[in-house]
Amino acid sequence: MFSKISLIATCTALYVSTAVAHERAVEFPDTEDGSVVLAADLHTHSVFSDGEVWPSIRVKEAHLDGLEVLAVTEHLEHQPHKADMPHPDRNRSYEIAEGVRADSEFDLMVINGAEVTRDMPYGHINAIFLSDANALLTEEPKQAMKAAKAQGAFVFLNHPNWLPHVSDGIARLSDYHKDLIAEGLLQGIEVVNGTLDGHSEHALQIALDNNLTVMGTSDIHGLVDWTHNAGAGGHRPMTLVLASDRSEAAFKRALFDGRTVAWSYDDLLGREEHVKAVVDACLTLEAEPAVRDYTVISAKIVNTCPVNFTLLNQGEETFQNTGDVLNVKRDGETAVAVRTKTGKGQMVLTVDVLNAQIGFRKALTTRLVTAIPAQ
């Protein structure tokens, strides 16, 4: 009797665990042009700098979250655990993480990186795709950036709206940052940073104005579950990378080409063409045949992504059953009754996607189109 109860309890626990893991893992559909959307977190910490967990935890969290790419980016200069954990090799955290990934056979890319940590006007800058992080331990910050470039690294500015660096919370480029951009030593900027718990519209505009890649990162120090409620409805901030395939080479090429969207809570931020590609892949409109000679057509907006969308109707066709603001739940659908002109042909909804930003205080506008089936 007890063995049967124990078996049932074990099976139930395994089922619940599998269901939670499936619910937690993020997944986005391919875009219309065939790009795959790779979920990446490219700013993370462990006890090898100022984080609170061993590198193996970062790998296991990334696997549970459904990430395709994880970068290990310990602070080079900021080493508060040095007395307890002296480690002269700044690649060690990555080596441990990559070893765990290899042993587990997780479908995950682990990338070596580092955070060059200086006071303003330099600030904090991440370099990823490093072959040797130790080479970035230089006296002069620009030498670290040159060492990163020599290794083929992708380099981006971290949390430019961080209050200890900008007291008014407005992201700006210093003259030093402008020099780095001019010399090809800086390719991206964080628009989203999880430690700051939100996004910066000013940083987004800086990215657009200076041809920088839009980045979203967790900058995680503690546990992802505790910090971002992962596994219970939340998710870490991340970068969605629109790549030609799932290889590391394609991922890196897409980063340098700026084919990214930052994702934080339900906010998507980036260049219009990339945000639109992701949103259009997520949302589809489906209509039912007309009833009698009614021109009001029943339809539904289907969302196949892990993002809740808020839509504002801006078109000529209005709704019979609701106002102009629609909420479309993640992996869900919203029913609408649309007043059309004839009840035939195409149904076109022009909407502002209020949680998709393509510039400073500027939302994405897109069209949802479907054919109205014949009776």
231 & 90 share domain: yes
40 & 136 share domain: yes
Taking residue 76's Cβ as centre, other Cβ atoms within 10 Å add up to 20
From 232, 249, 270, the end of a domain falls on 270
Residue 364 in domain: yes
The answer to whether the CB of 115 falls within 8 A of the CB of 126 is yes
Residue 3 in domain: no
Which amino acid is residue 58, in one-letter code?
Answer: R
Nearest Cα to Cα of residue 277 among 35, 26, 27: 35
254 & 328 share domain: no
Q: What is the pLDDT of residue 231?
A: 85
Query: What CATH number does the domain containing 326 carry?
Result: 2.60.40.10
Q: How far apart are CA 234 and CA 216, in angstroms?
A: 15
299 & 150 share domain: no
Q: How far apart are CA 104 and CA 19, in angstroms?
A: 20
Residue 275 in domain: no
- b/e sequence 259-275, b meaning 16+ C-beta within 10 Å: bbbbbbbebbbbbbebb
Residue 14 in domain: no
Q: What is the mean pLDDT of the chain?
A: 93
156 & 252 share domain: yes
Residues, the chain: 375
Residue 181 in domain: yes
Nearest Cα to Cα of residue 304 among 270, 345, 333, 276: 333
pTM over 0.85: yes
263 & 327 share domain: no
251 & 353 share domain: no
From 237, 270, 303, the end of a domain falls on 270
97 & 180 share domain: yes
Residue 21 in domain: no
Residue 253 in domain: yes
Q: What is the pLDDT of residue 216?
A: 99
Res 254 pLDDT > 60 = yes
Parallel/antiparallel/unpaired status of strands 346-359 and 267-270: parallel
Residue 13 in domain: no
Q: How far apart are CA 336 and CA 322, in angstroms?
A: 7
pLDDT in tens, 178-234: 999 999 999 999 999 999 999 999 999 999 999 999 999 999 999 999 999 998 889
pLDDT in tens, 145-157: 999 999 999 999 9
Query: What CATH number does the domain containing 132 carry?
Result: 3.20.20.140
Res 240 pLDDT > 60 = yes
Res 292 pLDDT > 80 = yes
Which residues span the domain enclosing 285?
281-371
The answer to whether the CB of 257 falls within 8 A of the CB of 231 is no
Total domain count, the chain: 2
247 & 292 share domain: no
From 236, 270, 304, the end of a domain falls on 270
140 φ/ψ angles, rounded to the nearest 5 degrees: -100, 130
125 & 189 share domain: yes
208 & 110 share domain: yes
81 & 135 share domain: yes
274 φ/ψ angles, rounded to the nearest 5 degrees: -80, -40
